[in-house]
Amino acid sequence: MSGMADLAGIGRDTRRGGYSRHGFDRAEHEMRSWFFEQSTLHGLDVYTDRNGNMWAWWGRPGPDAVVTGSHLDSVPGGGAFDGPLGVTSALDAVAALRAKGFQPGRPLAVVVFAEEEGGRFGVPCLGSRLLTGAIDPDRARNLTDPDGITLAEAARAAGIDPAHLGPDPILDNIGCFVELHVEQGRTLGDRPIGIASSILAHGRWRFTVTGEGNHAGTTEVADRHDPMLPAATAVLAARQAIAGTSSRATIGRLVPNPGGTNVIASSVDFWLDARGDDARPVVEAVTSAVGAAADAEGCVLTVREESYGDAVRFDAALRDRIQGLLAGVPAIPTGAGHDAGILAARIPTALLFVRNPTGISHAPAEHAEPADCAAGTQALADVLEELCR
Ligand code: GLV
Ligand code: MN
Ligand code: MN
């Protein structure tokens, strides 16, 4: 857990609370520097790949490697554990294996994936999507952050040549990937450790409603073309679309333009995060409700898909093997996205969970008890030892 203490002061968000650490920003850079130093202290050889993912190798990189790790970026105003716990536990597990004199029979690496939350450039799991070819590099290069900086520009400033973003042959050397993560719900209940069975399909859609900017005091109701009305419809339609289902629909980001108290907005952008066995029916329902509200208000709606990932079922053989080793830890589904979910399309992958007593995540109150984190690290060390024999 000392790693978590080291990271506690980096990227604190004094306005929102919690942490804001986004791809290639200053806070994430400090997190990465910490990872570089710690990995070196642990005797690992660190290398940054063409997509900004960092790999710390125990032994020479080679075929059939066992890889563990997670991410160091956060959502805006996020918790301390989502991502960093998987990285610090991985380094602690390596230290524990070294301390007992274990010599891996297969190459072992700890990885830090770039921009997992998509908090800056909008596409989640960007580093693992690029690595596996799940996003077109040209599209990725042109993604922009809220200040209009492209991923290509941010990557170049971080010392990564944007021309080389894209699928990486390093993937051919990975035999399996195991990520440890704080649970982001309360399904584990009184059990400290679990393993994921599946992840919901997940996508993000950007809605833009264009109306007519005007004066808040002088514009009669009949003359208004206020894009905030269709936006309000969207929030209600999202909730209605998931009522009584196991799907999820969230509008957590809404940006009116120009954003003045005494100004009828000329346009508004908002983002729908939808998840389910299939997330698309929810999006269709919301789009249709917002389209009707936009017509009624004399506004124009455009909708753009920013990311989509099908539902994930983790490799059953790897999960069985880990459950056998860890005294039958429970297998549970999750609605949260992970780099492990992206890698699962290409290689055997497993996702270990550490209990979250309140279930709160993506918020400053996210928590895991030290004893549960220690149990997670021990479980990860046992799994790595077994897989690397
Ligand atoms: C990432 O944690 C997500 O599920 O959005
Ligand atoms: Mn997250
Ligand atoms: Mn995460």
Predicted local confidence at residue 240, as pLDDT? 98
Question: What is the number of other CB atoms lying within 10 angstroms of the CB of residue 121?
Answer: 25
β-bridge partners, 141: none
C-alpha dist (Å) from residue 316 to 30, 66, 191, 337: 37, 17, 21, 19
For the chain, the distance separating the N- and C-terminal CA atoms, rounded to the nearest angstrom, is 26
Closest ligand 1 atom to the C-alpha of 273? Answer: 5
- The number of the ligand nearest the C-alpha atom of 199 reads 1
Distance CA 320, CA 195 (A): 10
Q: Tell me the average pLDDT across 126-155.
A: 98
How far does Cα 73 stand from its chain's mean position?
Answer: 8
Give distance in angstroms: CA of 125 to centre of ligand 2. Answer: 10
- Nearest CA owner, ligand 1 atom 5: 337
Q: Tell me the average pLDDT across 344-363.
A: 98
R_g over Cα of the chain: 22
- Nearest CA owner, ligand 1 atom 3: 337
Contact yes or no for 350/339 (Cβ under 8 A): no
Task: Name the residues around ion ligand 3, CB cutoff 5 A.
Answer: 82-83
Nearest to 132 by CA among 165, 107, 97, 156: 165
Predicted local confidence at residue 344, as pLDDT? 98
Percentage of the chain beyond pLDDT 90 is: 99
- Per DSSP, the three-state class of 221 is helix
Predicted local confidence at residue 1, as pLDDT? 60
- Per DSSP, the three-state class of 220 is coil
DSSP 19: B
Give distance in angstroms: CA of 247 to centre of ligand 2. Answer: 18
The string of pLDDT tens digits covering residues 245-287 is: 999 999 999 999 999 999 999 999 999 999 999 999 999 999 9
CA atoms within 13 A on the CB side of 179: 28
Mean pLDDT (the chain, rounded): 98
Q: Tell me the average pLDDT across 347-371.
A: 98
The string of pLDDT tens digits covering residues 150-186 is: 999 999 999 999 999 999 999 999 999 999 999 999 9
Closest ligand 1 atom to the C-alpha of 336? Answer: 4
Which H/E stretch holds residue 304? strand 300-309
What are the helix (H) ranges across the chain?
2-7, 26-41, 84-99, 126-132, 137-141, 151-157, 228-242, 280-296, 316-325, 339-343, 370-387
Phi, psi angle pair for 49, to nearest 5°: -85, 180
Contact yes or no for 248/200 (Cβ under 8 A): yes
The string of pLDDT tens digits covering residues 80-108 is: 999 999 999 999 999 999 999 999 999 99
Percentage of the chain beyond pLDDT 70 is: 100
Nearest to 58 by CA among 71, 72, 40: 40
DSSP 126: H
Tokens of 197: 């069975």
Distance CA 284, CA 35 (A): 42
Residue with tokens 């400033």: 157
Residues in the chain: 389
Residue with tokens 């990975």: 174
Check: pTM over 0.85? Answer yes or no: yes
Distance CA 186, CA 352 (A): 14
Give distance in angstroms: CA of 116 to centre of ligand 3. Answer: 7
Closest ligand 1 atom to the C-alpha of 361? Answer: 2
Is the pLDDT assigned to residue 2 strictly greater than 90? no
Question: What is the per-residue burial (b if ≥16 Cβ within 10 Å, else e) of 290-322?
Answer: bbebbeebebbbeeeebbbbebbebbeebbebb
Question: What is the number of other CB atoms lying within 10 angstroms of the CB of residue 232?
Answer: 15
Closest ligand 1 atom to the C-alpha of 116? Answer: 1
Phi, psi angle pair for 324, to nearest 5°: -65, -40
- The number of the ligand nearest the C-alpha atom of 72 reads 3
Predicted local confidence at residue 339, as pLDDT? 98
Distance CA 78, CA 286 (A): 27
Closest ligand 1 atom to the C-alpha of 184? Answer: 2
9 falls in which pLDDT band (50, 70, 90)?
very high
Q: Which residues line ligand 1 (CB under 6 A)?
A: 117, 124, 336-337
Q: Please report, for the chain, how many H helices and E strands are present, in that order.
A: 11, 15
Predicted local confidence at residue 137, as pLDDT? 98
Q: Tell me the average pLDDT across 9-22.
A: 98
Nearest to 92 by CA among 351, 367, 352, 378: 378
β-bridge partners, 113: 71
Predicted local confidence at residue 328, as pLDDT? 87
Predicted local confidence at residue 17, as pLDDT? 98
Contact yes or no for 45/56 (Cβ under 8 A): yes
